[in-house]
């Protein structure tokens, strides 16, 4: 049967199949091809074939390579021959190749683009060239020759049969008699089981490679999808476990934002966050470096932190931080989870080295990878295909499965990204116990309201009480109500966190609460009403003792002043070194003033061992602690990616491209009458052209036109004019063609 060209095969496809091809190989549609010949040429280029192969699984790629082994890039190959080389006939894989225009033709004459050999290299499937002598031998004769070999010779052939079939040696001696051959290479060359390419290169013939592989180009493992063993779990258990991880991550995120509000870290001159600052975060928050990196990247990715525009830029929380902190836990989780899913960066690269052997720091450009969101979705989509509650047993098995599904996609970071995605998704509570959570599934389906609701249902319900212990510790048996949490954090320090958080009350923490304007009575009332255990006497004594000393020395803004009813205490203050540093000056027996701001005066006196408090004009205690810096939030463009990371073509645009191709094909095969060409290739409104187009419009005749589109591309169309005038030709399909772009015209003959 005569070979069918790719262009002819594309012309024979129905419109929906052609649209599916353009949808899967979007590079073929930009710019729109003028006809099927142009489309075929474009689809047959090595670059386009390589991009299309990125979305093929291992079995489909194996079929394509086997077709190359069979020579389908030169002459059509029957499907039966393909089955002989593979030991089976993978119809589904062949259909996928046809749908992607990487193979075409009927079963008795399948062809592939010649450029496919450039994509897979000179040795597709790791097999060498055919030997004319060995090609005439049957399987039994080949087996007999191989059976005569020694162990060294057989081991050498086995190594080359796994691919590539090329070996470098110093023993590639030409025309050596068998009795003079001493090395395995020389013996194999003499027997004709190796091919000599030059003085230092030998090649294993294709026939020997196939024989050593058992007669099949690929083994069954290459064609069969790997198993993904799973452990069954209750979905509720998965959700609850993941919610606990999410709560812990949110607690660290809140601490990071509060820390950076008070002391923003500097931006490196090269961009990013310094390793020293990252280590400070791990130390202050008590977390590992990977979690710290994820916190930093998501804080910026979610728009909660940005660089200010000062001469010495810093990483400063934005105005979004306040609304984020006031949101319920599920809302805070949703903001970070969505930011992670669409983050065009790889936090897992942080700490490694770039191409210049420099350490990659957080928030630097070296960690940017635009395809990262697509790869994350591939991992989560695989988990979403499992039954509810089914968790993978091993991440390595998931890596192997995804590598089988797209072995040519992702480059060297492919496997690392799968592992990083599972680790980060577990930290964020999107994955728990190796399974996708209910909230994670809704997030993947782009249903933020359902995702937040599912996470809220899985998170522990806020509690309205604490347990005060005799050792001045306060235990929160779960996440506290927001108002209660603020009150407890004002008077106690977090000692350990988890499902139950332990706080410790100390003299410093009580003084901090009093500095913020709370009174001793209010603190007593807090513990009396919110503790499910009796308030220990030691805590009451501590609060009263600190309150008795607190505020005896009071300061106000004059630039600042200090007043104290105890003249002896005030005299003691004036005798300290700090008094000289602060420029304290007595203006009355009970009042001294300073030229320094009150906050600096109070801090210095506290370091000197005193316990002053700030007061307002009405004498009440003021909280002078800074509320933290904020900068305006920046607009974050919404980002939606297609399955392979590139923007998908809208359906109406796909239909327009298909119509464009069909119109070009129609123009190419139409029989034209006498052609009227415009002088100079266009730009002249000649009477002959106008008469021809007017005649076609009056008689509703089809007319063939040549024109140059807005991209400068010359093309042809067959149209039925309905109106010619005003510098435009309007066709029956509604399209308009500027007359100055039309280069030639002719009536279509029947």
Per DSSP, the residues of 651-711 read HHHHHHHHHHHHHHHHHHHPPB-SPEE-GGGS----HHHHHHHHHHHHHT--EEEEEE-TT
Answer for the pair 573, 579: CB distance below 8 angstroms, yes or no: yes
pTM to 2 decimal places: 0.75
Query: Burial, 109: exposed, middle or buried (Cβ in 10 Å; 0-12, 13-18, 19+)?
Result: middle
CATH class belonging to 670-747: mainly beta
Answer for the pair 461, 478: CB distance below 8 angstroms, yes or no: yes
The pLDDT tens digits for 511-537 are 988 988 889 999 999 999 999 999 999
Answer for the pair 455, 243: CB distance below 8 angstroms, yes or no: yes
Return the domain boundaries, the chain: 132-216, 230-458, 467-542, 554-610, 670-747
Q: Which phi and psi angles does 150 have, rounded to 5°? A: -80, 175
d(CA 466, CA 492): 12
Place of tokens 């509000």: 261
d(CA 639, CA 645): 11
d(CA 5, CA 621): 89
Query: Burial, 536: exposed, middle or buried (Cβ in 10 Å; 0-12, 13-18, 19+)?
Result: middle
What sections of 70-147 are H helices per DSSP?
Answer: 79-86, 91-99, 116-120, 132-135, 139-147
Nearest of 83, 22, 93, 21 to residue 58 by alpha carbon: 93
**Residue-by-residue DSSP string for 312-329:** S-BEEEBTHHHHHHHS-H
Q: Which phi and psi angles does 258 have, rounded to 5°? A: -70, -40
Question: Two tokens at 219?
Answer: 């083994």
Nearest of 136, 105, 137, 139 to residue 216 by alpha carbon: 139
- Give the pLDDT score at 677: 57
Would residue 749 be called left, alpha or beta, if left means φ above 0 and alpha means ψ between -120 and 50 degrees?
beta
- Give the pLDDT score at 673: 59
Q: Which phi and psi angles does 745 have, rounded to 5°? A: -155, 150
d(CA 480, CA 460): 10
The distance in angstroms from the start CA to the end CA of the chain is: 31
Q: Which phi and psi angles does 561 have, rounded to 5°? A: -140, 160
Question: Two tokens at 562?
Answer: 């200090």
- Give the pLDDT score at 191: 84
Place of tokens 């290459």: 222
CB atoms within 10 A of CB 58: 21
Question: Two tokens at 466?
Answer: 């604490």
- Give the pLDDT score at 640: 47
d(CA 381, CA 405): 13
- Give the pLDDT score at 681: 44
**Residue-by-residue DSSP string for 467-527:** EE-TTSEEEESSPBPHHHHHHHHHH-EEEE-SSSEEEE--HHHHHHHHHTT--HHHHHHHH
d(CA 427, CA 252): 11
Q: Which phi and psi angles does 714 have, rounded to 5°? A: -80, 135
Answer for the pair 574, 580: CB distance below 8 angstroms, yes or no: no
**Burial profile 85-97: b = 16 or more Cβ within 10 angstroms, e = fewer:** bbeeebeebbebb
Answer for the pair 470, 536: CB distance below 8 angstroms, yes or no: yes
Query: Burial, 418: exposed, middle or buried (Cβ in 10 Å; 0-12, 13-18, 19+)?
Result: buried
Q: At what angle are helices 329-341 and 235-262 packed, to 10 degrees? A: 90
Residues of the chain with pLDDT under 50: 1, 637, 639-646, 680-685
Answer for the pair 599, 624: CB distance below 8 angstroms, yes or no: yes
């Amino acid at each position: 049967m005569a070979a069918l060209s790719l262009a002819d095969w594309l012309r024979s496809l129905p419109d929906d199949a052609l649209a599916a091809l353009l949808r899967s190989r979007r590079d073929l549609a930009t710019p729109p091809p003028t006809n099927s010949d142009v489309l075929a040429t474009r689809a047959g280029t090595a670059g386009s074939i390589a991009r299309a192969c990125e979305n093929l699984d291992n079995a489909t790629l194996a079929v394509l390579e086997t077709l190359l082994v069979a020579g389908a890039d030169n002459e059509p190959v029957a499907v039966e021959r393909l089955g002989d080389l593979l030991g089976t006939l993978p119809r589904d894989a062949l259909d996928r190749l046809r749908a992607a225009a990487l193979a075409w033709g009927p079963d008795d004459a399948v062809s592939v683009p010649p450029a496919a050999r450039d994509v897979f290299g000179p040795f597709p499937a790791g097999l060498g060239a055919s030997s004319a002598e060995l090609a005439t031998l049957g399987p039994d004769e080949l087996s007999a020759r191989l059976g005569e070999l020694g162990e060294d010779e057989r081991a050498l052939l086995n190594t080359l049969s796994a691919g590539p079939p090329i070996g470098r040696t110093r023993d590639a001696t030409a025309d050596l008699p068998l009795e003079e051959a001493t090395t395995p290479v020389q013996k194999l060359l003499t027997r004709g089981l190796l091919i000599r390419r030059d003085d230092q290169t030998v090649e294993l013939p294709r026939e020997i490679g196939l024989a050593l592989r058992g007669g099949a180009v690929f083994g069954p493992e290459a064609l069969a999808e790997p198993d993904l063993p799973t452990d069954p779990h209750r979905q509720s258990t998965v959700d609850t476990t993941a919610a606990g991880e999410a709560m812990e991550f949110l607690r660290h995120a809140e601490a990071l934002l509060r820390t950076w509000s008070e002391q923003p870290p500097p931006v490196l001159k090269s961009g990013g966050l310094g390793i020293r600052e990252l280590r400070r975060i791990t130390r202050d928050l008590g977390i590992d470096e990977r979690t710290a990196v994820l916190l930093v990247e998501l804080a910026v990715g979610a728009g909660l932190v940005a660089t200010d525009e000062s001469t010495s830029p810093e990483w400063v929380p934005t105005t979004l931080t306040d609304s984020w902190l006031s949101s319920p836990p599920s809302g805070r989780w949703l903001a970070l989870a969505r930011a992670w899913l669409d983050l065009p960066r790889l936090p897992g690269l942080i700490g490694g080295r770039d191409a210049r052997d420099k350490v990659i720091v957080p928030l630097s450009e070296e960690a940017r990878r635009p395809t990262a969101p697509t790869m994350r979705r591939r991992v989560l989509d695989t988990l979403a295909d499992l039954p509810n509650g089914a968790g993978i047993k091993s991440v390595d098995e998931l890596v192997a499965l995804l590598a089988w599904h797209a072995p040519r996609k992702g480059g060297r970071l492919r496997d690392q990204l799968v592992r990083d995605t599972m680790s980060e998704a577990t930290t964020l509570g999107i994955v728990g116990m190796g399974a996708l959570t209910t909230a994670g599934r809704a997030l993947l389906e782009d249903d933020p309201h359902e995702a937040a609701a599912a996470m809220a249902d899985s998170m522990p319900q806020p509690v309205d009480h604490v347990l005060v212990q005799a050792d001045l510790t306060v235990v929160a048996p779960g996440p506290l109500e927001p108002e209660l949490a603020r009150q407890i954090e004002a008077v106690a320090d977090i000692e350990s966190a988890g499902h139950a958080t332990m706080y410790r009350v100390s003299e410093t923490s009580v003084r901090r609460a009093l500095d913020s304007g709370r009174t001793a009575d209010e603190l007593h009332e807090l513990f009396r009403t919110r503790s499910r255990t009796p308030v220990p006497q030691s805590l009451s004594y501590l609060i009263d003792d600190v309150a008795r000393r607190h505020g005896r020395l009071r300061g106000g803004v004059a630039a600042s002043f200090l007043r104290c009813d105890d003249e002896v205490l005030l005299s003691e203050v004036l005798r300290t070194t700090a008094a000289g540093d602060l420029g304290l000056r007595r203006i009355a027996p009970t009042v001294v003033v300073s030229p320094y701001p009150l906050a600096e005066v109070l801090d210095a006196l506290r370091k000197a061992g005193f316990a002053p408090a700030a007061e307002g004009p009405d004498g009440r205690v003021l909280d002078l602690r800074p509320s933290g810096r904020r900068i305006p939030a920046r607009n974050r463009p919404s980002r939606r990616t297609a399955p392979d990371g590139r923007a998908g073509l809208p359906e109406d645009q796909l239909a327009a491209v298909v119509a464009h191709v069909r119109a070009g094909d129609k123009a190419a095969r139409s029989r034209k009458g006498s052609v009227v060409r415009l002088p100079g290739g266009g730009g002249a409104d000649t009477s002959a052209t106008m008469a021809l187009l007017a005649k076609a419009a009056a008689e509703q005749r089809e007319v063939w036109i040549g024109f140059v589109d807005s991209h400068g591309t010359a093309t042809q169309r067959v149209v039925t004019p309905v109106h010619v005038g005003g510098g435009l030709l309007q066709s029956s399909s509604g399209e308009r063609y500027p007359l100055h772009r039309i280069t030639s015209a002719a009536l279509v003959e029947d």
